[in-house]
């Protein structure tokens, strides 16, 4: 038990509601992790993988009705609907607590209540924050061990008066005495992922999967933290953090905001294709940034591991992720090989001759079904990544030189565009769009505007969030702000073929960004921002037809003009909370495009 009165009172209060058989205070030790693994093996939740192929690793299949984040069941329960804004589902906090109180009542019967104290961020970091998740799921305990820094000591290290985020989670499947448990207990019919931003609370019911259940991740580090960041003058963003070193040994740090399953983990672990350059990983999903004493923005990765989308992770797309997951990892909804290892679509060039698919059915190549669920995941410790940067746990964070934003767009958006300044960059980030993926339940492949890749993760009114970004741009000297770039690796030709090779070749864009940050790197003004001049990208060793590069770096004036009314429509939803500066940016863009069209 942790000696902290407010924490103890809260745990007792929740236990009176949920009626668990026992309360287990977690310490984050390896012994505890192994205990949870043994428990999951006993209950049929987990299968140990072949220790000669995948040491210390387990395989888990979820319920088919519980495979992704559920955005339509995710609520921001701020005091007023206005505060949650038009992009969030809102529910009155008192009514939601009443409704959830009914569901949580007795929901942990027959199970243990695990108290998971954790810190998001490195020890001793002024940017880090503490949280506690109460859960009845051993799967959540093991995943939280990997993804957060779980330890009772986090309370010793913090000021007793300091606030901590309180997360409550139940799979919503009480066990009657003597009843057999299911391999993946959940309550697929009654999922609620609820956030109470004013009181820094999260109540999640019914789902055991990923971002719905590992509350330190999306719920705490993005939805609640975005509100804390607004209140305290910092930034909580859905961004990877990458460290780049050039052949002279100069270092730059870059963040990147991309929607779910758009290659953030691949970019975060990319292998530079230009000799002499080095890319190293700081984080693959979330960045918390605060101003340092020198007026620059410093970022930490609040997480401790990677919860990556498995399908498509291959030698070509992400060798480093494969190496990271070679041991001590959790695999969910992948396929199982006859020798008890895992496989997923794209992992190897040749498909295995037989597998057991994620739904426990025999699988053969050509059977017409994917063997792994498209949102199958690996949970793996960041420290195992062969290219983790030596300073990834620097408590001070790393100074950010550039921010990339972008989505998955087949048309219109060029390979890379540099914003004229922070305000223009905020504008570009606020209109970024992407085709939807399997990371969230719902229709796949639809283009939606996903500002700053935060559409599912911003814990308050998106118009105010834009205003917060603009305010950040006024706090320090312009020269100290990161430069902002709008990128698109996913442009296609008329036959649906990708124009840009992507993956490691994205280094060519990163090199240009690096050079621009140092005052070199050629660029030319265009109506949408600054584009690399024809020779500015280092294309040595890459066989790309000059007309393809030209197309990738051209401004589709007609296409952009056609976007303007849709941007206006996107902006209209924010009403009078849309900052005037962004309205002005849209008018300026339209004016520049019309001039270019003449």
Q: Which two tokens stand for residue 56?
A: 């210390």
Contact 482, 465 (CB under 8 A): no
Identify the residue among 33, 184, 307, 500 touching ligand OXD (CB under 6 A): 307
69 interacts with ligand OXD by CB under 6 A:
yes
Give the start-end residues of each E strand in 11-96: 22-25, 46-48, 58-60, 74-76, 89-90
Contact 174, 108 (CB under 8 A): yes
210 interacts with ligand OXD by CB under 6 A:
yes
Identify the residue among 88, 107, 187, 260 touching ligand OXD (CB under 6 A): 260
439 interacts with ligand OXD by CB under 6 A:
yes
Determine whether 367 is an active site residue.
no
285 interacts with ligand OXD by CB under 6 A:
yes
For Mn ion, the closer of residues 96 and 287 by Cβ is 287
Which does residue 69 bind out of ligand OXD, Mn ion, none, counting CB within 5 to 8 angstroms by kind?
A: ligand OXD
Q: Nearest to Mn ion by Cβ — which residue?
A: 285
**Catalytic residue from among 26, 262, 334, 517:** 262
For ligand OXD, the closer of residues 210 and 529 by Cβ is 210
Q: How far is the CB of 238 from ligand OXD (least distance, A)?
A: 7
Backbone angles phi, psi at 174, to 5 degrees: -60, 150
Q: Nearest to ligand OXD by Cβ — which residue?
A: 260
256 interacts with ligand OXD by CB under 6 A:
no
Q: Quick one: CA dihedral 529, 535, 538, 542, positive or negative?
A: positive
What DSSP assignment string belongs to 359-376? TS-EE-TTSSS-SS-TT-
Query: CB within 8 A of 410, min separation 6: which ones?
Result: 435, 490, 491, 492, 496
Binding mask 180-199 for ligand OXD (x = CB under 6 A): --------------------
> Rounded to an integer, what distance in angstroms lies between the CA atom of residue 481 and that of residue 296?
6
71 interacts with Mn ion by CB under 5 A:
no
> Rounded to an integer, what distance in angstroms lies between the CA atom of residue 489 and that of residue 79?
40
Instruction: Looking at residues 268 to 297 of the shown chain, list those that interact with Mn ion (rule: CB under 5 A).
Output: 285
Which does residue 307 bind out of Mn ion, ligand OXD, none, counting CB within 5 to 8 angstroms by kind?
A: ligand OXD
Longest dimension (CA), the chain: 77
Q: How far is the CB of 266 from ligand OXD (least distance, A)?
A: 13
Instruction: Using CB under 6 A, count the residues that bind ligand OXD.
Output: 7
For ligand OXD, the closer of residues 69 and 223 by Cβ is 69
Cβ atoms within 10 Å, residue 409: 18
Q: How many residues does the chain have?
A: 598
Q: How far is the CB of 157 from ligand OXD (least distance, A)?
A: 27
211 interacts with ligand OXD by CB under 6 A:
yes
> Rounded to an integer, what distance in angstroms lies between the CA atom of residue 552 and that of residue 545?
11
Report the DSSP pairing between strands 46-48 and 149-150.
unpaired
For Mn ion, the closer of residues 220 and 252 by Cβ is 220
> Rounded to an integer, what distance in angstroms lies between the CA atom of residue 396 and that of residue 297?
11
Q: How far is the CB of 452 from Mn ion (least distance, A)?
A: 12
Catalytic residues, by residue number, are: 262
Q: Which residues bind ligand OXD (CB under 6 A)?
A: 69, 210-211, 260, 285, 307, 439
Q: Which residues bind Mn ion (CB under 5 A)?
A: 260, 285
């Amino acid at each position: 038990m942790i000696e902290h009165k407010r924490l103890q009172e809260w745990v007792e209060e929740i236990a009176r509601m949920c009626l668990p058989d026992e309360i287990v205070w977690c310490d984050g030790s390896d012994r505890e992790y192994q205990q949870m693994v043994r428990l999951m093996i006993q209950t049929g939740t987990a299968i140990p993988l072949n220790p000669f192929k995948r040491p210390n690793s387990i395989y888990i299949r979820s319920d088919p009705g519980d495979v992704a984040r559920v955005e339509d069941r995710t609520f921001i329960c701020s005091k007023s609907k206005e505060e949650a804004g038009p992009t969030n589902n809102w529910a009155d906090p008192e009514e939601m607590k009443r409704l959830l109180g009914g569901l949580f009542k007795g929901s942990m019967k027959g199970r243990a209540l695990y108290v998971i104290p954790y810190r998001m961020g490195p020890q001793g970091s002024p940017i880090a924050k503490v949280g506690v998740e109460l859960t009845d799921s051993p799967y959540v305990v093991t995943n939280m061990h990997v993804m957060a820094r779980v330890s009772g000591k986090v309370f010793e290290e913090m000021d007793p008066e300091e606030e901590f985020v309180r997360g409550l989670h139940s799979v919503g499947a009480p066990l009657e005495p003597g009843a057999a448990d299911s391999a993946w207990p959940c309550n697929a019919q009654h999922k609620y992922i609820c956030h109470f931003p004013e009181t820094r609370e999260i109540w999640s019911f019914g789902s055991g999967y990923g971002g719905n259940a590992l509350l330190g991740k999306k719920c705490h580090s993005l939805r609640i933290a975005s509100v804390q960041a607004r209140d305290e003058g910092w930034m909580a963003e859905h961004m990877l953090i990458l460290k780049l070193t050039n052949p002279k040994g100069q270092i730059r740090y870059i963040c990147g905001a991309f929607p779910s399953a758009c290659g953030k983990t691949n970019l975060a672990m990319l292998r530079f294709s230009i000799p002499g350059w080095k890319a190293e990983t700081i984080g693959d999903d979330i960045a918390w940034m605060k101003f340092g004493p020198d007026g620059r923005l410093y970022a930490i990765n609040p997480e401790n591991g990677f919860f990556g989308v498995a399908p498509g992770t291959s030698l070509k797309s992400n060798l480093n992720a494969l190496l990271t997951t070679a041991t001590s990892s959790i695999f969910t909804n992948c396929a199982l090989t006859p020798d008890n290892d895992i496989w997923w679509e794209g992992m190897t060039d040749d498909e295995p001759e037989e597998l057991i698919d994620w739904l426990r059915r025999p699988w053969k190549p050509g059977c017409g079904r994917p063997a792994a669920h498209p949102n199958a995941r690996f949970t793996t410790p960041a420290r195992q990544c062969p290219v983790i940067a030596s300073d990834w746990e620097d408590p001070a964070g790393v100074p950010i030189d550039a921010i990339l934003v972008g989505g998955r767009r087949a048309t219109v958006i060029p390979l890379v565009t540099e914003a004229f300044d922070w305000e223009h960059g905020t504008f570009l980030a606020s209109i970024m769009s992407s085709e939807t993926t399997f990371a969230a339940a719902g229709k796949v492949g639809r283009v939606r505007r996903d500002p700053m890749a935060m559409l599912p993760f911003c814990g308050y009114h998106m118009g105010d969030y834009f205003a917060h970004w603009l305010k950040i741009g006024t706090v320090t000297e312009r020269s100290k702000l990161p430069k902002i770039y709008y990128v698109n690796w996913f442009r296609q030709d008329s036959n649906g073929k990708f124009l840009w090779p992507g993956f490691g070749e994205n280094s060519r864009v990163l090199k240009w960004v690096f050079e621009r940050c140092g005052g070199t790197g050629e660029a030319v003004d265009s109506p949408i921002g600054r584009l690399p001049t024809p020779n500015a990208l280092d294309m040595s060793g890459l066989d790309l037809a000059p007309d393809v590069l030209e197309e990738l770096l051209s401004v589709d004036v007609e296409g952009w003009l056609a976007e303007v009314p849709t941007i206006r429509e996107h902006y209209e939803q924010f009403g009078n909370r849309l900052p005037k500066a962004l309205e002005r940016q849209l008018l300026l863009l339209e004016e520049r495009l019309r001039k270019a069209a003449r």
